[in-house]
Amino acid sequence: MHKNIIVMKFGGTSVSSIEKIKKVAERAVKLKNEGSNVVITVSAMGDTTDDLIDLASGISQNPSRREMDMLLSTGEQVSSSLLAIAINERNSKAVSLTGWQAGIFTDDTFSDAKILTIKNDRIFDEFKKDNIVIVAGFQGITNNMDIATLGRGGSDTTAVAIAAALNAKHCEIFTDVDGVFTTDPNMIADAKKIDVLSYDEMLELASSGAKVLHLRAVEFAKAHGVKIHVRSSFNNNEGTWVMNTEKINEKMEQAMVVGVSYDTNQVKFSVFGIPDKPGIAAQLFSGLAKAHINIDLIVQNVGENGIAAISFTIKKEDLKTGEKVVKALQQDLGIKNIEIDTEIAKLSIVGAGMKSHPGVAAEMFSSLGSKQINIEMISTSPIIISCVIRKERISEAVKLLHEVFGLNK
Amino acid sequence: MHKNIIVMKFGGTSVSSIEKIKKVAERAVKLKNEGSNVVITVSAMGDTTDDLIDLASGISQNPSRREMDMLLSTGEQVSSSLLAIAINERNSKAVSLTGWQAGIFTDDTFSDAKILTIKNDRIFDEFKKDNIVIVAGFQGITNNMDIATLGRGGSDTTAVAIAAALNAKHCEIFTDVDGVFTTDPNMIADAKKIDVLSYDEMLELASSGAKVLHLRAVEFAKAHGVKIHVRSSFNNNEGTWVMNTEKINEKMEQAMVVGVSYDTNQVKFSVFGIPDKPGIAAQLFSGLAKAHINIDLIVQNVGENGIAAISFTIKKEDLKTGEKVVKALQQDLGIKNIEIDTEIAKLSIVGAGMKSHPGVAAEMFSSLGSKQINIEMISTSPIIISCVIRKERISEAVKLLHEVFGLNK
């Protein structure tokens, strides 16, 4: 009698119209009729979230985050109820639940809340009533009964967190591509779909520019051992499985590099002429942290006379705030001058196999060097090597590394 | 230290744009700064509710009422959060609450739910934090934690119910006219604003066609003694007070008739040739009641040979369902034939003063007769007299009665 539970997640483009919502309903009903209990997490329809943000910006340049969450959470509530209606129309039972109705409790970091716990009774009650359960993505409720959202892309996290809370067989993330690719298929025509990735590989790909899966969702999946299947909402092809790959890898030869990713949405700050004293970098970076700015790559050089230079990259949307923060600290920290470079790109290669192949970094750098592509910053970890290059060279560099590491075969 | 509590309610046209929302914010902040605790209930922006209904009808002709409530309740959540942002922008504290956050519990008659109770702790907590409290209108939550809406116009009811639950000084209902008029000012140029009405007079005016206030809200106000002030959102003029008028009326001469109202949104059903047996009318009307159709006027005539005819009026939007119900009963009840007349209008005069003036009905009928306006059905109660006439004569008839009873002076 015990049925498999499968969680499906559909993004905003998959529910952007009535017709697409009907397609999602069709797919969900099919899965249920094959004998599973089904939970569906949906994002807001198409541009809804942006439209709501526009409304708010017409009133205030700095709206309360609590009120923004109240506002934005309606988008997923709309798509959820419409999907329930579409499933009913296919003679299948369904119920839509907001985040709070689904028992998703978060902390109170409005607009970027973390899921604390999921009380799964309501969802199990609805399974007993033979319902497909639709859960509005991207949102939960604080202990003070305020609506909080998980930040952009948070519907992935909702889906994975629910899969963990229900001990689901796996979590299917539907998207507009066939899975995770060895590099961006829009840029490199012979990019190949990856069949299986470890959580760490997926994490590095997600953090280094691949937009197919939300970073936090992968972290959550890793922490709770949730198997994720990233696949297309337009066909029934197998996509990419993100899972614990240790057992698989014991048996098969492991690919050294699984993917090449890039990010052209970063800017580089360089601050020159700061005294090489302990605590200066800490003050700089804690100032940025207070302004909720995440720093990606950091390079610090000590020059002559104990005068240091620090370069770091942040997201393009944080440019203005970042500039304000650094300028405010300039006098205190003794910074001589500040340079901002918007013409950079980050280029990364990812693969758990690199751990046992120490020559990979060297191969990457020499390949780039052979084409006169200058490397401006470098960051390495056991399974990812990233470097900053000129933005105008990124497409060429991605294609080069994709070939050098045999990902086009 | 104890402050007055005032509840303000703004309808969809008062919050239909960013600019109008800012105006509402301005008014609310002014009232708060004058020293009151303020609660604001808002409807959805402009056509939002209709737009959401259109989306759902693109999917199903008969969507689940539970899911429709889930869908439609988002409209008020959007306008509430935007209003909170607009109030913050005027340097005043505000918090928006959904129906469930505001503690509004309803029964589970989805799309037409009744408020059962309001747990007012959260609102009082927010007063302590110096917040203007915005409550999404038209919605509440069932004991099963499902969102339920109060039906169209339900935001009036929300406002009055909250005023009752908080023991507010009064409830201000903002609208696009200056108050309640002696008749429809769009039809009759010399219609006059009424200063004070009793609950019963307002009830009869609302039920007989005046659309300024939702019927159930007035019933709620009467039951809980909530003073309502119906006024314009475009100016600061005094509007119409709806309240317990007994004390006022002891002191002043009471107007016989306070208003002339009409309703052109009704259709008349006539069923002919039914046997004059007990229970036939009951079967007919209970069949309609089961289909959630409200019957307004009823006239039953017993003709020769014990064969009866029954005429009744219902809302135009219930025409098709009503027709189905009556036809399904036709054979069982022995109905010979059914006539449906869509060219009727209901005309009413209202006034608590009529109780002590028995000649009012006669004056109404003779005035209409003098102009050859035929009366087809009549219904009377101590404070309202209604009759059905041809729709094409309604404007002429309203003008006539408005003059006959001196309301234009």
pLDDT digits (tens, 9 = 90+) for A274-305: 877 777 778 888 889 888 888 888 887 766 66
**Could you give the dihedral angle defined by the CA atoms of residues B34, B35, B39 and B45, in that order, rounded to the nearest 10 degrees?**
20
CB B201 within 8 A of CB B258: yes
Residue pLDDT, tens place only, B165-180? 999 999 999 988 899 9
pLDDT at B61 over 50: yes
- Which residues on chain B are in Cβ contact (under 8 Å) with A80? 70
> For residues A22 and A311, which has the higher predicted lDDT (pLDDT)?
A22
- Which residues on chain A are in Cβ contact (under 8 Å) with B63? 85, 88
Q: Which of A22, A84, A145 lies at the smallest CB-CB distance from B64?
A: A84
Instruction: With CB atoms and an 8 Å threshold, state whether B59 touches A74.
Output: no
How far is it, in rounded angstroms, from Cα B300 to Cα A73? 53
Q: Which of B22, B77, B86 lies at the smallest CB-CB distance from A74?
A: B77
Mean pLDDT of B257-283: 86
Å between B36 CA and nearest CA of chain A:
23
Q: What's the one-letter identity of residue B363?
A: E
- Which residues on chain B are in Cβ contact (under 8 Å) with A88? 60, 63-64, 67
The pLDDT assigned to A391 comes to: 96
Smallest Cα–Cα separation from A139: which of A226, A209, A79? A79
Q: What is the torsional sign of CA A118, A122, A125, A130?
A: negative
**Residue to test with chain A: of B15, B83, B85, most A Cβ within 10 A:** B85
Q: What is the DSSP letter of B193?
A: B
Å between B117 CA and nearest CA of chain A:
19
CB B344 within 8 A of CB B375: no
pLDDT at A248 over 90: no
Q: Is residue B109 part of a domain?
A: yes
Instruction: With CB atoms and an 8 Å threshold, state whether B60 touches A85.
Output: yes
Burial bucket for residue A299 (CB in 10 Å: 0-12, 13-18, 19+) = middle
Residue A43 touches chain B, beta carbons under 8 Å: no
Model pTM? 0.84
Q: Is residue A243 part of a domain?
A: no
- Reading the block at residue B215, the tokens are 């019927």
Instruction: With CB atoms and an 8 Å threshold, state whether A63 touches B80.
Output: no
Q: Which of A141-145, A352-356, B287-291 is most confident?
A: A141-145
Q: Which of B68, B71, B85 lies at the smallest CB-CB distance from A60?
A: B85
How far is it, in rounded angstroms, from Cα B125 to Cα B127? 5
Instruction: With CB atoms and an 8 Å threshold, state whether B60 touches A21.
Output: no
- Which residues on chain B are in Cβ contact (under 8 Å) with A86? 59-60
How far is it, in rounded angstroms, from Cα B274 to Cα B295? 19
- Provide the percentage of residues in chain A whose pLDDT is more than 90: 70
Q: Which residue has the tokens 């039914």?
A: B274
Residue B70 touches chain A, beta carbons under 8 Å: yes
**Residue to test with chain B: of A53, A71, A119, A134, most B Cβ within 10 A:** A71
Instruction: With CB atoms and an 8 Å threshold, state whether B22 touches A59.
Output: yes
**Residue to test with chain A: of B22, B70, B73, most A Cβ within 10 A:** B70
CB B137 within 8 A of CB B163: no
Q: Which of A71, A81, A146 lies at the smallest CB-CB distance from B82?
A: A71
How far is it, in rounded angstroms, from Cα B105 to Cα B139? 9
Mean pLDDT of A309-336: 90
Q: Is residue A162 part of a domain?
A: yes
**Could you give the dihedral angle defined by the CA atoms of residues B156, B158, B160 and B161, in that order, rounded to the nearest 10 degrees?**
150
How far is it, in rounded angstroms, from Cα B383 to Cα A389? 84
User: What does R_g of chain B's alpha carbons equal in angstroms?
Assistant: 23
How far is it, in rounded angstroms, from Cα A211 to Cα A264? 12
- Which residues on chain B are in Cβ contact (under 8 Å) with A52? 78
Strand pairing of B94-97 and B132-136?
A: parallel
**Strand extents, DSSP E, A304-405:** 307-315, 337-341, 344-350, 377-381, 384-390
Q: Is residue B394 part of a domain?
A: no
Of A90-94, A246-250, B397-401, minimum mean pLDDT range: A246-250
Instruction: With CB atoms and an 8 Å threshold, state whether A78 touches B71.
Output: yes
CA atoms within 13 A on the CB side of A221: 34
CB A197 within 8 A of CB A137: no
- Which residues on chain A are in Cβ contact (under 8 Å) with B80? 70
Identify the band that residue B1 occupies on the pLDDT scale cut at 50, 70 and 90: very low
Instruction: With CB atoms and an 8 Å threshold, state whether B78 touches A55.
Output: yes
Mean pLDDT of B133-156: 94
**Residue to test with chain A: of B52, B59, B142, most A Cβ within 10 A:** B59
User: What does R_g of chain A's alpha carbons equal in angstroms?
Assistant: 23
Q: Could you tell me which residues are beta bridge partners of residue B242?
A: B197, B228
CB B333 within 8 A of CB B310: no
Smallest Cα–Cα separation from A387: which of A313, A315, A319, A331? A313
How far is it, in rounded angstroms, from Cα A123 to Cα A35? 17
Q: How far is CA A384 from the centre of its chain?
A: 16
Mean pLDDT of B272-289: 82
Show which of residues 78-97 on chain B sit within 8 Å of chain A, judged by CB atoms: 78, 80-82, 84-86, 88-89, 95-96
CATH of the domain at B42: 3.40.1160.10
Burial bucket for residue A369 (CB in 10 Å: 0-12, 13-18, 19+) = exposed
Q: Which domain holds residue A110?
A: 4-175
By C-alpha distance, the chain B residue nearest A74 is B74
Cα distances (Å, whole numbers) of residue B255 to A87, A214, B251, B380 = 58, 70, 12, 18
Q: Is residue B138 part of a domain?
A: yes
Largest Cα separation within chain A, whole Å, is 78
Instruction: With CB atoms and an 8 Å threshold, state whether A70 touches B84.
Output: yes
Q: Could you tell me which residues are beta bridge partners of residue A300?
A: A310
Å between B407 CA and nearest CA of chain A:
44
Mean pLDDT, chain B, integer: 91
- Which residues on chain B are in Cβ contact (under 8 Å) with A26? none
How far is it, in rounded angstroms, from Cα A347 to Cα A389? 7
Smallest Cα–Cα separation from B24: which of B100, B89, B72, B74? B89
Q: Is residue B219 part of a domain?
A: no
**Strand extents, DSSP E, A51-154:** 94-97, 104-106, 115-118, 132-136, 139-141, 147-149
- Which residues on chain B are in Cβ contact (under 8 Å) with A92? none
Largest Cα separation within chain B, whole Å, is 77
The pLDDT assigned to A2 comes to: 64
DSSP B9-22: EE-GGGGSSHHHHH
Burial readout A185-203 (b: 16 or more C-beta within 10 A, e: otherwise)? eeebeebbbbeebbbbbbb
**Residue to test with chain A: of B82, B97, B111, B132, most A Cβ within 10 A:** B82
Identify the band that residue A1 occupies on the pLDDT scale cut at 50, 70 and 90: very low
By C-alpha distance, the chain B residue nearest A141 is B101
Cα distances (Å, whole numbers) of residue B22 to A12, A56, B27 = 30, 11, 9
Residue pLDDT, tens place only, B74-128? 999 999 999 999 999 999 999 999 999 999 999 999 999 999 999 999 999 999 9
By C-alpha distance, the chain B residue nearest A65 is B85
Show which of residues 270-289 on chain B sit within 8 Å of chain A, judged by CB atoms: none
Å between B67 CA and nearest CA of chain A:
5
Q: Which of B55, B66, B82 lies at the smallest CB-CB distance from A56?
A: B82
The pLDDT assigned to B408 comes to: 87
Helix (H) or strand (E) run with residue B172 in it: strand B170-175
Strand pairing of A36-42 and A4-10?
A: parallel
Across the beta sheet with A266-275, the strand order is: A295-302, A307-315, A266-275, A337-341
> For residues B393 and A294, which has the higher predicted lDDT (pLDDT)?
B393
CB A382 within 8 A of CB A355: yes
Smallest Cα–Cα separation from B10: which of B200, B230, B181? B230
Smallest Cα–Cα separation from B257: which of B183, B348, B354? B354
Which runs of consecutive H residues, i.e. helices, occur in A227-318? 246-251, 280-290
Residue A300 touches chain B, beta carbons under 8 Å: no
How far is it, in rounded angstroms, from Cα A191 to Cα B140? 52
At A94, is the secondary structure helix, strand, or coil?
Answer: strand
The pLDDT assigned to B247 comes to: 61
Name the domain count of chain B: 1
Instruction: With CB atoms and an 8 Å threshold, state whether A67 touches B88.
Output: yes
Residue A386 touches chain B, beta carbons under 8 Å: no
The pLDDT assigned to B248 comes to: 61
Q: What's the one-letter identity of residue B39?
A: V
CB A173 within 8 A of CB A232: no
How far is it, in rounded angstroms, from Cα B35 to Cα B26? 15
Residue B74 touches chain A, beta carbons under 8 Å: yes
Q: Is residue B345 part of a domain?
A: no
- Which residues on chain B are in Cβ contact (under 8 Å) with A22? 59
Q: Counting one residue from A and one from B, how many pairs have CB atoms under 8 Å apart?
A: 104
Q: Is residue B322 part of a domain?
A: no
How far is it, in rounded angstroms, from Cα B400 to Cα B406? 10
Instruction: With CB atoms and an 8 Å threshold, state whether A88 touches B63.
Output: yes
Mean pLDDT, chain A, integer: 91
Helix (H) or strand (E) run with residue A241 in it: strand A240-242
**Residue to test with chain A: of B52, B71, B125, most A Cβ within 10 A:** B71
Mean pLDDT of B364-376: 92
Residue pLDDT, tens place only, B180-213? 999 998 899 999 999 999 999 998 888 777 777 8
The pLDDT assigned to B176 comes to: 85
Instruction: With CB atoms and an 8 Å threshold, state whether B63 touches A101.
Output: no
Q: Could you tell me which residues are beta bridge partners of residue A315?
A: A266
Mean pLDDT of B293-319: 81
Burial bucket for residue A66 (CB in 10 Å: 0-12, 13-18, 19+) = buried
By C-alpha distance, the chain A residue nearest B22 is A59
Smallest Cα–Cα separation from A242: which of A224, A261, A228? A228
